[in-house]
Amino acid sequence: MKKLINDAENAMSESLAGFCAAHSDIVRIGEHAPFVWRRHLKPGKVALISGGGSGHEPLHSGFVGFGMLDAACPGQVFTSPTPDLILAAAEAADTGGGVLFIVKNYEGDVMNFEMAREMSGKPIATVITDDDVAVETSTFSTGRRGVAGTLIVEKILGAAAEQGRDLAGLKALGDRVNAATRSIGRALGGPTDNARRKREKCTTATSSGSGQGPPVSRLRTSFRWMSPSRRVLSSGERSAAQRGQQA
C-alpha cells in the first residue's frame, strides 16, 4: 500500500484540504482558488510565492509558514499551476511589500508565472532556479532544471524576508544563492500518474513520453530515462543485475 486515493480526478484538491485541516494553525487554503497560504501574514513583508505540479510533496505546500513561503500554488499532478491560480495567491499574500516569485526552470512554470506577473500589474520580481547539473543543454528542456536546490533558495530568502529585506534585495540574494547551488537526482523507479493510468484503461492505444525530465544519457550510469509508466531499468538490465547479486 503506497497511497489512499478516492478518485484520481480529485486527489489534488482533497489532499490540499486535508493538509490544511491538519495544520490549520499554520496554513489555510484559498477561499476561491486551491492554493495554500500562511494563516498569519506579516504586514509590509515581501510575499514569497512558489509552486509547481503536484506529486512532489512536500514541495511546495509543505514549506509555507514562518521563515519560508507565504503561499504555494500547486498544479495538477506533474502540471504547472495556471496563471489565474498564481495571481490569486499573489493578491492574497501581498501585504504591501511586493511579491517575489520563486520559479523552477520548466517551460510551463516559467511561462505561467510570467503571465501572472504581467496580469497583476504590481511590483513582482522573479527568481528562476536551475540547479540540476544532469542537464545543461537538451532538446527536452530550456537548460538546467530547477529541482532540489529550489528548497535552499526558498529557505534563505524566507529568512531574509522575515528580517525585512526589500524586494530588490531579495531578488539579488535569490539569484546569488541559485548561482551557487547545484544538485543531481538519481531515480530508482518511475513515478505513477494515477490520472493518466485511469485514462489509459479506457483506450486501446497509449502514448509513450520521455517522463517528466529530459534524458541524462551523458551521465555514466546504468540507469536509463524512461516513460513514467515504465521502470527505470530494462528487463535485460534487471536480469543482469540479479545475476550479479546471485554471483
Domain ranges of the chain: 8-179, 194-246
25-47 pLDDT tens trace: 999 998 888 899 999 999 999 99
Cα→Cα distances 167→94, 157, 161, Å: 12, 10, 9
Query: Higher model confidence: residue 220 or residue 131?
Result: 131
Kindly report each contact of residues 136-140 with a partner whose C-beta sits within 8 Å and lies 24 or more positions away, as own/partner. 138/214, 138/215, 139/214, 140/210, 140/213, 140/214, 140/215
Q: What percent of the chain has pLDDT over 70?
A: 73
Residue type, 25: D
Mean pLDDT of the chain: 79
Rounded Cα distance between 60 and 51, Å, is 6
Of the candidates 232, 42, 59, the one whose C-alpha atom is nearest the C-alpha of residue 150 is: 59
Tell whether pTM > 0.85.
no
Helix locations, the chain, DSSP H: 11-22, 83-93, 107-120, 149-162, 167-179, 194-200, 235-246
Among left, alpha and beta (phi > 0; psi -120 to 50; other), residue 55 is left
Rounded Cα distance between 114 and 55, Å, is 22
Task: Check if the beta carbon of residue 102 is closer than 8 Å to that of residue 49.
Answer: yes
The CATH code that applies to domain 8-179 is 3.40.50.10440
Whether the pLDDT of residue 195 is over 70: the answer is no
